[in-house]
Homo-oligomer: A and B are copies of this chain.
C-alpha cells in the first residue's frame, strides 16, 4: 500500500535513474535484484534504495529482493510513463529539432503533434513527417487541439510570450529549454532544462579540483 505522506523531490529525482537501471537489467534477462546489488551498480546506498522504494509501496520481498520487471513497471507507472501525452514544440531551431528527433520520447509516451516557428525559412519544412507551422497559428491550433505538454525551444526573449499562449489554452505542463524562468500558475507544471547551468557546474567542478588553478 502506498504511503500517504508527501514524497520529497529528492526521491523523485532518483526514480528515473532506477527506471533506467532496471530497464538495463530487464534487457539482460535478470529477473530479480536485491537493494545491495542495485546499490553497487547504481551508486546509491542500499539503505537509500530501500527507503526510496518503500515510499510507494511494498515492492520487495524479504529474503528475495525485488522482481525486476515488476519494479520497472511500477516505477514507470509512478512516473506516469504508462500514460500518453500530446506535445507540441515551439521553436524549430537546433534544440527544437534535436528534441523532435529524439526517438526515445515517443517510446516514453510523448507524442509530438505539431511544431511551430516564426522563421519563414523553417515554416513548411518537415521534421519527422511533421510540417513546421507558423507560430502565429499556435493560439488557434491549441484551441482546436487538446495538447498536454508544450516544449519551448525559442530564444529567452520570446519564451514567456509563448508560455502565456500555452497557459491560456489550457496546457498542463511546459518543458522549457529557454534559459529563463517562466512564470506560470501553480497548476501548470514547468520543468526547465538549463544547459548553461549544467555547463557552469562542470566549469566550477573543474576549477574546484584545482586543475585550472594558476
| Residues of chain A whose beta carbon lies under 8 Å from any beta carbon of chain B | 12-13, 15-17, 19-20, 43, 78-81, 83, 85, 93-95, 97-99, 101-102, 104-105, 108-110, 148-149, 172-173, 175, 179-181, 187, 189, 191, 193-207, 209, 211-212
| Among candidates B43, B148, B198, residue contacting A206 with C-beta atoms closer than 8 Å | B148
Report the minimum CB–CB distance from A114 to chain B (whole Å): 18
A147 to chain B, nearest CB (A): 13
Given contacts A80-B207, A97-B94, A98-B95, contact A105 B199 (CB under 8 A): yes
Contacts of A16 in B (CB 8 A): 194, 196-197, 200-201
Q: In the assembled complex, which residues on chain B have CB atoms less than 8 Å from the CB atom of A93?
A: 98, 101
Would you call A104 and B179 a contact (CB within 8 A)?
A: yes
Report if A81-B200 is in contact (Cβ < 8 Å); known contacts: A94-B97, A98-B94: yes
Judge whether A205 and B179 touch: CB under 8 Å: no
Is B204 touching A175 in the complex (CB atoms < 8 A)? no
- Asked if residues B204 and A12 are in contact (CB atoms below 8 Å), the reply is yes
Report Cα–Cα, A205/B8, bound state, in Å.
12
A199 lies within 8 A of B194 (CB): no
| A-B CB contact pairs (8 Å), 25 listed | A12-B205, A15-B200, A16-B197, A16-B200, A16-B201, A20-B179, A79-B200, A79-B201, A79-B204, A79-B207, A80-B200, A80-B207, A83-B203, A85-B206, A93-B98, A95-B98, A99-B195, A105-B199, A148-B206, A175-B202, A187-B209, A189-B205, A191-B198, A191-B202, A191-B205
